[in-house]
């Protein structure tokens, strides 16, 4: 779910690196939702996006949307509030995400910034817990210059602080290749944090610590604006995730 400007440019790199960046279209077939994939359709966009026809995406079957709200501790995407309002008015379950920069500041500081700038949660039947988008660094070293143990601590600091601020465990968006390289098998995040996995085409590989995914981004473009996603469950289960029930 990195800023949309990166997705297409890095699609070929995603294939070469085993989908270590969010899914991009390696071919036309990569943008088609695999027929055997169960679940509810949705999509993800940047908070810089300006024009979404919410009625059209709802009519096309979208049930949820993720909107990138913040990056690091210095950037809030400008249209987040308006996009959330539009999605809610159309009846979509809505989540926001934070693009992590672990080399810029601590995990707790970034969780605080996210919670205060679009990542808050409320039990309104439509708001998902916030998402930590942590993946290959578009600005430099893949693992942001951190060891696996340091990255594990960074993620733990983020999700624990987000929990303290909102009462919810964050969703974690990542890929198996990046996570296993940069975080490793420690942390046991799968016990609390739902997985939003990025991966092209067929059933995606899962990062260490998770036995299943909750959301899957299977393409960078398709029926809906932005990334093409599915929720691994029913409409009632999606509402239960939103409401923490």
> What is the tens place of the pLDDT at every residue in 86-131?
999 999 999 999 999 999 999 999 999 999 999 999 999 999 999 9
DSSP label at residue 233: S
pLDDT digits (tens, 9 = 90+) for 156-212: 999 999 999 999 999 999 999 999 999 999 889 999 999 999 997 778 999 999 999
- Of 225, 218, 220, 242, give the one whose Cα is nearest residue 38: 218
The three-state secondary structure class of 76 is strand
CA separation for the pair 64, 33 (Å, rounded): 16
- Residues that are catalytic: 44, 133, 135
DSSP label at residue 206: -
DSSP label at residue 132: E
Q: Architecture of 4-243 per CATH?
A: Alpha-Beta Barrel (3.20)
CA separation for the pair 170, 184 (Å, rounded): 19
pTM exceeds 0.75 for this model: yes
Q: What pLDDT, on a 0 to 100 scale, did the predictor assign at position 36?
A: 54
Q: Domain boundaries in the chain? A: 4-243
Q: Which two tokens stand for residue 18?
A: 């085993």
């Amino acid at each position: 779910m990195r800023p949309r400007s990166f997705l297409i440019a890095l699609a070929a790199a995603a294939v070469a690196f085993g989908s270590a960046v969010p899914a991009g279209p390696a071919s036309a077939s990569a943008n088609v939702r695999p027929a055997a994939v169960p679940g509810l359709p949705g999509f993800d966009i940047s908070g810089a996006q300006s024009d979404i026809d919410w009625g059209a995406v709802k009519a096309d079957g979208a049930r949820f949307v993720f909107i990138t709200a913040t990056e690091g501790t210095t950037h809030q995407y400008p249209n987040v509030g308006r996009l959330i309002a539009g999605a809610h008015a159309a009846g979509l379950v809505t989540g926001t995400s934070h693009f992590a920069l672990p080399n810029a500041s601590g995990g707790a500081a970034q969780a605080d910034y996210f919670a205060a700038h679009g990542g808050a949660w409320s039990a309104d039947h439509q708001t998902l817990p916030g998402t930590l988008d942590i993946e290959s660094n578009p600005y430099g070293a893949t693992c942001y210059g951190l060891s696996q143990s340091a990255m594990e601590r960074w993620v733990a600091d983020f999700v624990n602080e987000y929990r303290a601020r909102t009462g919810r465990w964050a969703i974690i968006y990542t890929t198996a290749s990046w996570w296993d390289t940069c975080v490793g098998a420690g942390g046991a995040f799968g016990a609390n944090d739902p997985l939003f996995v990025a991966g092209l085409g067929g059933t995606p590989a899962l990062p260490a610590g998770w036995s299943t995914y909750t959301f899957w981004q299977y393409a960078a473009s398709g029926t809906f604006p932005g990334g093409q996603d599915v929720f691994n469950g029913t409409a009632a289960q999606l509402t239960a995730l939103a409401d923490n029930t």
